[in-house]
């Protein structure tokens, strides 16, 4: 495994005249939890999308586990970016089962464990269209963690969760980190960053600054 799970090297992303990422360079160590803080529109989500291959850099490069990100290919990354969406006519369990059937890496029991870890009942028959915002976010986290990826990219994972939910998810993320996962997350909650993160960066107007270890 590479020393750095994610390496962002002189990354520039422009949308016409707007510079979303302005020569960003950062190396995210393997096996740690990295936090990125910053206002809305500062470029955090764009950086996450580029790491996942949903967006292409204007220049520069990104390596995940030592390999360059190719926009068209599947990746072993657990991801939540923006508001998580699911098939509304299926239960949470069936939604995850459908996603898990693509990679075929995990069993039904693993899906149940992932749901229980985020505080959702695997046997709940309710359709996702009737889930509350908090339940949808928990389900989003469950889909990100269920296949035990080496890298988790979580954009505002605590959005829509109540206090208890936030505490539970923090525990889950810590546990996953102890099991070896590298986590890069953004959050509006200063406490998330304080409690969870080993290293903290700040994104402002597309410029990423290292704040603390």
Query: If binding is defined by CB under 8 A, does position 190 make contact with another protein?
Result: no
Query: If binding is defined by CB under 8 A, does position 87 make contact with another protein?
Result: yes
Non-local CB neighbours of 102 within 8 Å, separated by 6+ positions: none
d(CA 195, CA 5) in angstroms, rounded, equals 21
Among 32, 54, 97, 198, binds another protein (CB under 8 A): 54
Piece of the chain touching another protein by CB under 8 A; list 45-53, 106-114, 115-123, 190-198: 45-53
Q: What is the per-residue binding string for another protein in 124-143, x denoting contact by CB under 8 A?
A: -----x-------------x
φ, ψ dihedrals at 190, nearest 5°: -60, -30
d(CA 14, CA 86) in angstroms, rounded, equals 30
Nearer to another protein, 40 or 73 (CB): 73
Among 26, 81, 115, 141, binds another protein (CB under 8 A): 81
**Cβ atoms of residues 51 and 24 within 8 Å:** no
Nearer to another protein, 59 or 129 (CB): 129
3-state helix, strand, coil in the chain (%, to 5): 35, 30, 35
Piece of the chain touching another protein by CB under 8 A; list 46-54, 116-124, 166-174, 202-210: 46-54
Query: If binding is defined by CB under 8 A, does position 72 make contact with another protein?
Result: yes
The tokens describing 184, both together, are 């890069």
Interaction with another protein in 143-172: which residues (CB under 8 A)? 143
Nearer to another protein, 53 or 174 (CB): 53
Nearer to another protein, 9 or 90 (CB): 90
Q: Please measure the distance between the N-terminal and C-terminal CA atoms of the chain and give it in whole angstroms.
A: 22
Give CA angle at 203 (197, 208), nearest 5°. 90
């Amino acid at each position: 495994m590479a020393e750095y799970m994610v390496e962002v090297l002189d990354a520039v992303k422009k949308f016409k005249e707007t510079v979303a990422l302005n020569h960003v360079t950062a190396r995210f160590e393997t096996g740690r939890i990295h936090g990125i803080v910053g206002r809305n529109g500062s470029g955090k989500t764009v950086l996450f999308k580029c790491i996942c291959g949903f967006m292409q850099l204007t220049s520069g490069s990104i390596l995940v586990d030592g390999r360059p990100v190719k926009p068209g290919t599947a990746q072993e990354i657990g991801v939540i970016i923006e508001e998580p969406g699911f098939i509304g006519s299926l239960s949470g369990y069936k939604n995850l089962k459908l996603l898990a059937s693509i990679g075929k890496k995990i069993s039904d029991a693993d899906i149940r464990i992932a749901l229980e870890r985020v505080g959702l009942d695997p046997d709940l028959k309710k359709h996702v269209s009737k889930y509350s915002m908090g339940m949808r976010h928990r389900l989003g986290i469950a889909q990100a963690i269920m296949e035990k990826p080496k890298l988790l990219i979580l954009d505002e994972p605590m959005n829509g969760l109540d206090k208890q939910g936030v505490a539970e998810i923090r525990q889950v993320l810590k546990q996953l980190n102890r099991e070896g996962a590298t986590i890069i997350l953004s959050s509006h909650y200063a406490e998330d960053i304080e409690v969870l993160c080993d290293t903290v960066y700040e994104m402002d107007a597309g410029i990423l600054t290292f704040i603390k270890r």
